[in-house]
Each structure stands twice: as structure tokens, then as C-alpha cells.
């Protein structure tokens, strides 16, 4: 469980970083269908936090900017995403 909590914490850091960005936050809201009012409530759900990381990882520039701003390695968002619901690798065998 501790690993999932660490992943959720990173996703909350991403959410805070997005919310502080006047260009990326509206794009995030549009992509998720959430309103700014919904975000605080939704941020308590691991599934939503997975969507936060999914959005971040849609562009390498997002990942690099977040990681550069926070000191996380570039692999941290992907590793965190794997620990949240829906982030497990698909096996097509």
C-alpha cells in the first residue's frame, strides 16, 4: 500500500503543478471533462489521479517540465502510473 500512496502523492504534485499553469490546466480540464470545482473532490480518487498522470504523459514536454520543476527523475510519472488503478501493463497473449 505504501507504494500506491507514494504514487498518489506524486500525482497530487502533478495536479498542483498543472493547476498553477494557466495554459496546461485548462487543457487538462478539457481532456478529463472535469471542472475546476470537481478537481478537489476527484483528487481523492486513485482513478482520477491515474488520469492526471495519463494527461501529463501525453507529451514528453509536460513530463520534462514537471520533473525539471520538482526534481523528480523523468521516469517517476510512468512508475507512479503503473501503481494506480488502470496503470498496469496490458498483456495481449
Q: Break the chain into its structural domains and give their ranges.
A: 2-82
Q: What pLDDT score was predicted for residue 89?
A: 59
Q: Is the CB of residue 3 less than 8 Å from the CB of residue 83?
A: yes
Asked if pLDDT for residue 41 goes beyond 80, the answer is yes
Residue 86: pLDDT band by 50, 70, 90 thresholds?
confident
Asked if pLDDT for residue 5 goes beyond 80, the answer is yes
Gap between the Cα atoms of 74 and 87, Å rounded: 17
Q: Summarize the confidence of residues 27-54 as an average pLDDT.
A: 93
Asked if pLDDT for residue 64 goes beyond 90, the answer is yes
Report the predicted TM-score, pTM, of the whole model to 2 decimal places.
0.89
Please compute, for residue 84, the number of CA atoms within 13 A of its CA located in the half-sphere on the CB side. 26
Contacts of 53 (CB under 8 A, 6+ apart): 10, 11, 14, 77, 80, 81, 84, 87
Gap between the Cα atoms of 24 and 14, Å rounded: 11
Query: For the chain, what is the mean pLDDT?
Result: 91
Amino acid at each position: 500500500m505504501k507504494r500506491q500512496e507514494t504514487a498518489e502523492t506524486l500525482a497530487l504534485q502533478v495536479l498542483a503543478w498543472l493547476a498553477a499553469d494557466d495554459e496546461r490546466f485548462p487543457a487538462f480540464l478539457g481532456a478529463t471533462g472535469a471542472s475546476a470545482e470537481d478537481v478537489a473532490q476527484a483528487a481523492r480518487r486513485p482513478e482520477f489521479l491515474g488520469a492526471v498522470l495519463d494527461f501529463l504523459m501525453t507529451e514528453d514536454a509536460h513530463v520534462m517540465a514537471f520533473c525539471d520543476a520538482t526534481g523528480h527523475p523523468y521516469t517517476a510519472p510512468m512508475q507512479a502510473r503503473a501503481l494506480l488503478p488502470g496503470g498496469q501493463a496490458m498483456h495481449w497473449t
